[in-house]
Amino acid sequence: MKVKHCLTIGLLLAAISSYGQSGVFDLSFEGQIYPTGLIPGVRLERGIGKKSALHLRLGYQIIDHRDQGKHADETGTGYGFTLGYKRYFNHKSRALHVGLRNDVWFNKIDWKNGLLHGEVGGTAKITVLQPTAEAGWTFLLGEKTVLAPTLALGYEINVKTKGEPTGEGAIVLVGIQLGHRFEGLKD
C-alpha cells in the first residue's frame, strides 16, 4: 500500500515540475496550525502562466482532538499530501492570492473513553479528504526568498475508517510558507 502512495506522489511531483516551464518554481517549508493540530510540510509550487500556480505538499500531521472528536480523547499522527491551485492578483506571483486545495491524509488515531470510570480505548486508521479554500499574501524578500502567510477554510471528511469513527468536520487553518524562488516570471 505504501508503494502505491509513493508512486502516486512521485508522478504528481513530476507532473507539477514539468508543467508550465515559463513560470516561477518555489520550494518552501510550510506550516499550518488549527485548533486541534499542527501540519509541517514541504511544498513545491510551479507557475502555470502569469497569474496561476499549481502546488504539491508532502506533510505530516500531529493531531490532538482532545474531547472535540467523537471520543473523550483523540490523539494521533498521519502523513499525506496536498494538491492545489493558486491564483495571484499580481502577474509577478506575489501579493494577494486565493486558491483551492485538497489534502489526503492517512492518519492513525488513538482514542479513549471513560477517563474517570474505567478507561476504554482503541486505535483507528483513517483516510481523510480535506478540501479547503485558501487566501494569503506572498511577499518576496529580496529576489529569491518567499514568505506567505495564509488562512484556509475547509472540511475534514473521513472517507475510510478501520476501527471506531473519530472526529471530522469544519476546519480553519492558519499557515506560513517560507522558501526559495528558483526562477522569476518575465514582465
Number of domains in the chain: 1
* Whole-prediction pTM: 0.81
* Site of grid cell 506550516: 31
Cell 491551485 belongs to: 85
**Do the domain assignments include residue 20?**
yes
Residue-level pLDDT at 109:
86
Distances (CA, A) of 106 to 77, 145, 183: 8, 31, 33
Residue 68 is predicted with a pLDDT of 64
In a domain? residue 187: no
Torsion angles phi and psi, residue 168, rounded to 5: -155, 170
How many C-alpha atoms does 18 have within 13 Å on its Cβ side?
Answer: 6
User: Residue 1: which pLDDT band, with cuts at 50, 70 and 90?
Assistant: low
pLDDT at res. 71 = 67
How far apart (Å, rounded) are the C-alpha atoms in residues 179 and 17?
A: 16
Domain limits at 12?
2-181
CB-based contact 65:75 (threshold 8 Å): yes
CA atoms within 13 A on the CB side of 180: 1
| For residue 133, pLDDT beyond 50 | yes
186 within some domain: no
From 9-13, 29-33, 63-67, 115-119, the region with the lowest mean pLDDT: 9-13
Nearest to 138 by CA among 124, 148, 126: 148
Cα separation, 24 vs 26, whole angstroms: 6
> Which pLDDT value is given to residue 97?
95
pLDDT tens-digit readout, 92-113: 767 899 999 999 999 998 878 8
Higher pLDDT, 36 or 11: 36
Identity of the residue numbered 4: K
Helices vs strands, H then E, count in the chain? 1, 8
Residue 150 lies in a domain: yes
Whole-number average pLDDT of the chain: 84
CATH of residue 159's domain is: 2.40.160.20
Question: Model confidence over 48-102: pLDDT tens digits?
Answer: 888 899 999 999 999 887 666 676 678 899 999 999 999 999 877 678 999 999 9
